[in-house]
Structure 1
Amino acid sequence: MPVALILVLLALGSVLFHVMSPWWFSPLASNWGYMDSTIVITFWITGVVYVVILLFMAYCVLRFRHRKGVKAAYNPENKKLEWGLTIVTAVGVAAMLAPGLVVWNDFITVPKEATTIEVLGQQWMWNYRLPGKDGVLGTADTKTVSTENPLGLMPNDRHGDDDIVIVGDALHLPIGKPVKLSLRSIDVLHDYFVPQFRAKMDGVPGMTTYFWFIPTKVGTYEAMCAELCGTGHYTMRGAVVVEEEAAYQEWLKKQPTFKQVADRAAKRRGQSDLASGEKMPAFTK
């Protein structure tokens, strides 16, 4: 009797905790409301099954408890019960998988009008690259990464000269416009995640991954790494600012291009050479 009561209380307590819990989704700030709907469907299906199983266990403990003079019946096979459980289980699994497959199809189908922005993960910061006036991102390679070229752009690719380079700073996005984030990593496995956008993806060394979304709410959101990436993993955080188009364009004008960053680096390198006392080459008549 006490065990059956404990099982019933466990079922009721779990439901009440889920309904009354203050820990729920963060406010949605993108078009991926389907993610929330899919999770809610999964909660309903697994929750109902969980409660039914606990109540059934409580019934069995109470109904088939030990009593004097009562013997257990041995019934190793019950085809009707087995078929019923198989069908119910199959329907439940399909009901959980089907919405996820639909959402995944949308998740990997990027709108043609989406702006591609590169996200480069490294221990332990986020760097970004936006297309310049030509609207095309230049090619990049981790082999060319250096202090002067932190994103590893190919110097001989002219499409990269006007690319906007953001190193360790906040990413700004215009509200209401689709964005494709193309992820790379220069060291270990990272995972770019903004909870309010309901979208995330691994940044894998040696390959490019992506996801897309539409920012729908103005605000500043925390970008974090959702993959254990080393001792400084907990510090790998950034910010994504969603703003109106006018404010976004003002911010964009203030950001340096790859060519400007490279020119500044070359100038600093030249000044450092002079300060170190290196002899300048002599000119002969």
Structure 2
Amino acid sequence: MVRCLKIISVVAVMLISLTGLAHAGIWYLPFPEDISTNGHLIDDVIHYIDIVLVIFFGAVLLALLFFIVRYRSRPGHTAVYETGYKKKYAIITICLGLLVFCSIDAVIEHMSFRDLKEVFWNFPQGKDVIKIELMPQQFAWNIRYAGIDGEFATQDDIVAPLSQMHVPVGTPVVVQMSPFDVVHSFYVPNLRIKQDAIPGMVTTFWFQLTKTGKFEIACSALCGNGHYKMRGSLISESKEDFEKWLANQTAEAASADDFWADSETSTGSSVPENWGWKWQSKS
């Protein structure tokens, strides 16, 4: 019995250590740097899942160790065959199932829908909001900004260089995305955003950056044999630098230069010259 208690104590210490490591980062690795105002909400859900799963996994290990030691083969002990069909076993099973459901599934669902309703589906409004239309294709990102008239799908729209998304730091950015060909997925780990692009649909999401720098945009949906090279750049800069860049793009868009054909990442597939759509307002 003393040996059994020692084993249980060691496992308990290991459980506490694993719980702390799970809180620091799954599989002992730190998360990518969070550069958004809302990324911590995703981290909170992941941390909660890590901690609760480690606790339940540890409890199962402790139970297994207890039963192995308690009901081990030894002199004077006769094994008893148990079908498990008694009423008390059914009650215990139901209670354990409800405990797992209420402490994991129900809490995660509550946290997720709360964040969706209060933050991720609460799209910012106002003149300071930057609006972007994004059309992924095999294997690049086509990016469009509204021109002077503030409307999309008009002659003064600003089409950015291929796969380069410039945004100002500290300003809400609303993106509407619809693919040109197949299913793609906009993935920026530093934003905690992974949003699918479905043909025939316009998907809306938003974010706000807290740090300047250059971060990778990846496609996280297998979209063809060139999927591996579908990378872009999210360039976060000051509002002054963004306005300067936007003004330069206005002049470039008004010129006859065709920077699509000169792009090193061009796939050769045709893209409509006047791609874009009327902005779909979200309440």
TM-score (norm 2): 0.76
Match of 1:123 among 138, 141, 148: 138
User: Is it true that 1:214 corresponds to 2:208 in the alignment?
Assistant: yes
2:197 matched residue in structure 1: 203
Structure number, greater radius of gyration: 1
User: Is it true that 1:100 corresponds to 2:106 in the alignment?
Assistant: no
Match of 2:123 among 110, 118, 121: 110
Give how far 1:234 is off.
1.2
Letter in 2 for 1:237: R
Matches within 5 A, 1:127-166: 127-138=142-153, 160-166=154-160
Give how far 1:205 is off.
1.3
Tell me: CA distance 1:133–1:58, structure 2 relative to 1, closer, same or farther (3 Å).
same
Give how far 1:103 is off.
1.4
Mean Cα displacement is larger for which, 213-222 or 14-23? 14-23
User: Is it true that 1:238 corresponds to 2:246 in the alignment?
Assistant: no
Give how far 1:174 is off.
0.7
Tell me: CA distance 1:170–1:25, structure 2 relative to 1, closer, same or farther (3 Å).
same
1:190 matched residue in structure 2: 184
Give how far 1:167 is off.
3.9
Q: Deviations over 1:53-88 (max 9, x none)?
A: 122112222222233442225242224413421331
SS of the aligned residue for 1:254 comes to helix
Q: Deviations over 1:158-188 (max 9, x none)?
A: xx11111024142110111111111111111
SS of the aligned residue for 2:122 comes to coil
Give how far 1:96 is off.
1.9
Q: Do 1:129 and 1:166's aligned partners in 2 also have CA atoms closer than 8 Å?
A: yes
Q: Do 1:188 and 1:204's aligned partners in 2 also have CA atoms closer than 8 Å?
A: yes
Query: Structure 2: how far apart are the matches of 1:258 and 1:117?
Result: 18
SS of the aligned residue for 2:228 comes to helix
Name the % identity. 28
Match of 1:72 among 47, 56, 80: 80
Q: How many residues are matched?
A: 243
Give how far 1:97 is off.
1.6
Q: Do 1:196 and 1:221's aligned partners in 2 also have CA atoms closer than 8 Å?
A: yes
Give how far 1:211 is off.
0.8
Q: For the aligned residues, what is the CA RMSD?
A: 3.0
Query: Structure 1: how far apart are the matches of 2:191 and 2:96?
Result: 38
2:35 matched residue in structure 1: 29
Runs (4 or more) in structure 1 with deviation over 6 Å come to: none
Query: Structure 1: how far apart are the matches of 2:91 and 2:219?
Result: 49
Match of 1:82 among 93, 111, 115: 93
Letter in 1 for 2:97: T
Q: Do 1:118 and 1:181's aligned partners in 2 also have CA atoms closer than 8 Å?
A: yes
Mean Cα displacement is larger for which, 214-223 or 69-78? 69-78
Q: Do 2:176 and 2:203's aligned partners in 1 also have CA atoms closer than 8 Å?
A: yes
2:59 matched residue in structure 1: 52
Query: Structure 2: how far apart are the matches of 1:16 and 1:227?
Result: 33
Give how far 1:136 is off.
1.4
Give how far 1:258 is off.
9.4
TM-score (norm 1): 0.76
Give how far 1:137 is off.
1.1
Q: Do 1:161 and 1:258's aligned partners in 2 also have CA atoms closer than 8 Å?
A: no
Query: Structure 1: how far apart are the matches of 2:101 and 2:163?
Result: 48
SS of the aligned residue for 2:249 comes to coil
Q: Deviations over 1:196-218 (max 9, x none)?
A: 11122111111111211111111
Query: Structure 2: how far apart are the matches of 1:65 and 1:252?
Result: 74
